[in-house]
């Protein structure tokens, strides 16, 4: 029994990559993505078609919208590999704006639903940047009810001081 097999006895293995081949090799239960991981993967020749198809399918859409669609496209394809959930991260630049964070989270969930992926297979990650950030309030009853999905917090360090 190798180290990965021993680890599986005690925990859930989650892939933290946008590389489908790595996921196939290690067979994780769930996968997590973020815009940086997807950007890295999209630059590889084997994923170029996903990027080109996504851009071509949505002419005239703002860059942020196309990026959300690319995240969901990768997420949908990841879900054909992993049996559990995929987590997709809301743009960390929105982390100090509660309403914008929630709106983006709802948009991502809606895009997954449009792509035929049920909410039970999607986990939305939001950046946790400190006491003034949106994530602590995302776990409130209002936010949970509004999104009908749990969220995960990703810790981010910012070079600028936190807003008061």
| Number of neighbours of residue 10 by Cβ within 10 angstroms | 6
Coil vs helix vs strand at 35: helix
| Number of neighbours of residue 77 by Cβ within 10 angstroms | 16
Would residue 13 be called left, alpha or beta, if left means φ above 0 and alpha means ψ between -120 and 50 degrees? beta
Confirm if 96 and 129 have CB atoms less than 8 A apart: yes
Task: Check if 125 is active-site.
Answer: yes
Name the catalytic one among 40, 44, 125, 131.
Answer: 125
What are phi and psi for residue 126, nearest 5 degrees? Answer: -125, 150
133 exposure class (CB count in 10 Å sphere: 0-12, 13-18, 19+)? buried
What positions carry a catalytic annotation?
A: 125
């Amino acid at each position: 029994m190798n180290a990965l097999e021993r680890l599986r006895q005690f925990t859930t293995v989650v892939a933290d990559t946008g590389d489908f081949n790595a996921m196939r090799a290690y067979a994780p239960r769930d996968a997590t993505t973020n815009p940086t991981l997807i950007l890295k993967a999209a630059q590889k020749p084997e994923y170029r078609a996903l990027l080109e198809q996504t851009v071509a399918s949505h002419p005239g859409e703002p860059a942020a919208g196309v990026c959300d669609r690319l995240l969901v496209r990768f997420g949908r394809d990841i879900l054909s590999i992993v049996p559990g959930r995929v987590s997709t991260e809301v743009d960390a630049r929105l982390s100090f704006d509660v309403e914008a964070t929630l709106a983006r989270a709802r948009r991502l969930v809606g895009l997954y639903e449009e792509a035929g992926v049920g909410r039970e297979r999607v986990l939305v990650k939001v950046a946790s940047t400190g006491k003034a950030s949106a994530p602590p309030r995302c776990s409130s009853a209002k936010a949970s009810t509004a999104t009908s999905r749990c969220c995960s917090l990703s810790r981010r360090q910012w070079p600028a001081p936190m807003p008061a």
